[in-house]
Amino acid sequence: MLKLFVALLPYEWVGAFITGLRYLLIEVLRSDKEKVQNLIDRINLELIKDDRYNRFVMENPELLRIRIESEVDAAIREYWDLTGDSTEVKLEVPSYSEGTQGDTPLGGGMRLTSPYKDNNEL
């Protein structure tokens, strides 16, 4: 029983620290909740490395969304740093056409076509 208590003691301190940090940043300093949660997630992933917290994030849709957005944003920034390409992707508006006369009472066919570059490449 004493070994179990000693093994759990660091997790209790870490949990209390993270809870206190979250309260301080969100409630007292009025920080953005998503940024605070991202900071706590980064602390866990880089320093604490607790699988129980990771499972908790995976089961919570809001925390998982914050983690995914953070990971994707970091991957994009890393790509920009490696390639030097920081241009934004600009999607051209597709062309839409609709036939007013057709075989059915609703009219003719409808078409949504993506614009192509030279040589019919996207």
> What are the pLDDT tens digits along the chain (122 aa)?
445 444 555 666 666 777 787 778 877 778 788 888 888 888 878 877 777 778 888 888 888 898 899 889 989 888 888 888 777 767 778 777 777 776 776 677 777 777 766 655 55
Is 115 in contact with 95 (CB distance < 8 Å)?
yes
Q: What is the pLDDT of residue 63?
A: 83
Q: What is the pLDDT of residue 2?
A: 45
Q: Which helix (H) or strand (E) holds 97?
A: strand 95-98
The pTM score is: 0.52
What SS3 class is residue 107? strand
